[in-house]
Amino acid sequence: MGPLVVVLMVAVLVLAFGMIAALLVVIRRTSGSLPRTAKASPEQVQAVHEELEQARQEAREIRAKAESDAEEILRRSESAVESATQMRREVEEESRILKSELKELRTDLERREARLAEREQRLDEEARRQSERDRKLGETEVELADRREELLQVEQERTIILERVAGLTGDQAKNELVKEIENQAKREAALIVREIEGDARKEGEKRATKIVTLAVQRIAAEQTAESVVSVLHLPGDEMKGRIIGREGRNIRAFESTTGVNLIIDDTPEAVLLSCFDPVRRETARLTLEKLVLDGRIHPQRIEEAHDRSRQEVQDLCARAGEDALVELGITDMHPELTLLLGQLRYRTSYGQNVLKHLIESAHIAGIMAAELKMDQPLLKRCALLHDIGKALTHEVEGSHALIGAEIARRYGEQEDVVHAIEAHHNEVEVRTVEAVLTQAADAISGSRPGARRESLEAYVKRLERLEEIAQSYEGVEKVFAMQAGREIRVMVKPDAIDDIQAQVIARDVAKQVEEELTYPGQIRITVVRESRATEFAR
């Protein structure tokens, strides 16, 4: 009720101020209209009365207006009081709701505090248990350390007793154990390898044999044996003197110009040309042949004949390279590569002409690619260029495979061809099927009967080394190199070597032969283990 009282008081004050204001107006007017003399005429008195009446009327109007304003203020105050009452009720309701929520929050907080206290209690108990456990673990570790020291002492005593009984030191026994475990691991590995190889052979051997057989059967390349010496037949022995010249002038000029050794011995009607560079040797042979046919032999004629012969040999090399490309159906090869291919016409490897070997390998690779549904031109290109580095082995140091790969890369051959060249002797790890087929074609062409030959000295040394490698293994009784070194028969002691160990020996010997020796084709290692039981009936 406080706001209502205030409003009423405000309304009364407004009404009072209004009445006071009206009276002040009437008084001001009355005081202004009264004459200042004591005597006044009736007209003046009448005028004053009229003015007083008018002032009263204005005071009544002001009073009425004040009452109206007071009533309006009263209404507004009542409305304001109602609004304030409504707001008070709303505030009281919100206060009640907030008190209820606050009570719930206080209850929840108390409940959480209780849970936290309970959890802290549990954590304290767990910490006490953990401390007890750590204490027990420390005691256990101390006990284990003591026990470990006791065990070490017992082990040392046991080792001393065992060494005394066995007559071996600890290191010797360890080596024996390691050797025994290694042999056992090799035996188990040999069993697994034999199973895997057996499964692989069942599927792959027939197809590989078919592909290789078809490739070999469809190739019929002629073979010629060449060496580092060329023989030139003369029309008569008197020509030797003309070749030598006065005080050996002609022969010195010839050797200086051609870079080839000219050997004139007691061989009738023949001279020998010796040089490791086949192109240079062929150029010298043609030069000497022209000089003999012309009959005029002196230093100036030697130089002229050598220039013509060198150009002729270069043309023959280019023609030979182009013929090889035409025969294989290969196009768009760099002219320098074609020229290097032609130079291989005069190069031999183990008596096998290198250019013919490359052509033969390319045919074999193409046939195998056709059987395997692969890119035949690419395989032919890989096989044709795999020995291109041999054309520069007299001029550049290094392996012919790496030299050939660098040449092919320089003249724009694609990366598969370059990789097949550099990997055909496993100097680079093989990463593509094309490289594997290039190796196979190279091996087939070089290992077929009659393809290659080697000197007697190298042949004997290779046989001796093969027998030495096989004889170096424990349990081997006899070793025989057979079929011109293409097979090794290893006879082992049956009481010292069992079947699994025999397989291990065969694999180890093959691996050592691959690492140490260079040979055409492949070498078979056969380990023979034979046991006999003999009794006599009397």
Over the Cα atoms of the chain, what is R_g? 61
Please tell me whether residues 479 and 404 are part of one structural domain.
Answer: no
Of 91, 115, 146, the residue that ends a domain is 146
For residue 238, the model assigns a pLDDT of: 78
Give the pLDDT of residue 168. 62
Domain match, 422 and 487 both? no
Same domain, 381 and 305: yes
- Same-domain check for residues 385 and 418: yes
168 assigned to some structural domain: no
pLDDT value of position 282: 83
The DSSP secondary-structure symbol of 495 reads: T
Q: How far apart are the first and last CA of the chain?
A: 150
The predicted structure's pLDDT at residue 147: 87
Q: Output the pLDDT for position 166.
A: 64
Q: For the domain that residue 405 is a member of, what is the CATH number?
A: 1.10.3210
206 lies in some domain: no
Report which DSSP code applies to 248: G
Cα-based distances in Å from 256 to 284, 294, 299, 303: 11, 20, 10, 10
**Co-location of 331 and 415 in the same domain:** yes
CATH number of the domain residue 493 falls in? 3.30.70.1350
182, part of any domain: no
354 and 390 housed in the same domain: yes
- Counting the structural domains of the chain, the total is 3
Phi-psi region of 398 (alpha: psi -120 to 50; beta: other; left: phi over 0): left
244 and 347 share one domain: yes
Instruction: Tell me the average confidence (pLDDT) per consecutive run of 10 residues in the chain, 538 residues long.
Output: 57 63 58 48 79 81 81 82 86 90 91 91 90 89 88 82 68 75 79 76 66 57 51 78 82 85 79 80 86 83 87 86 86 86 78 82 87 87 88 71 89 90 85 88 71 60 85 88 81 86 88 80 84 72
Q: Are residues 422 and 470 in the same domain?
A: no
Predicted confidence at residue 116, as pLDDT, reads: 92
Please say which residue of 146, 164, 192 terminates a domain.
146
* Token pair recorded at residue 316: 């023959």
Q: Do 307 and 375 share a domain, yes or no?
A: yes
Say what the pLDDT of residue 207 is.
67
Structural domain boundaries enclosing 279: 229-447
pLDDT at site 273: 83
Amino acid at 489: R
**Pair (434, 523) in one structural domain:** no
Phi and psi dihedrals of 7, rounded to 5? -65, -45
Specify if 218 maps to a domain: no
- Domain end call among 146, 161, 183: 146
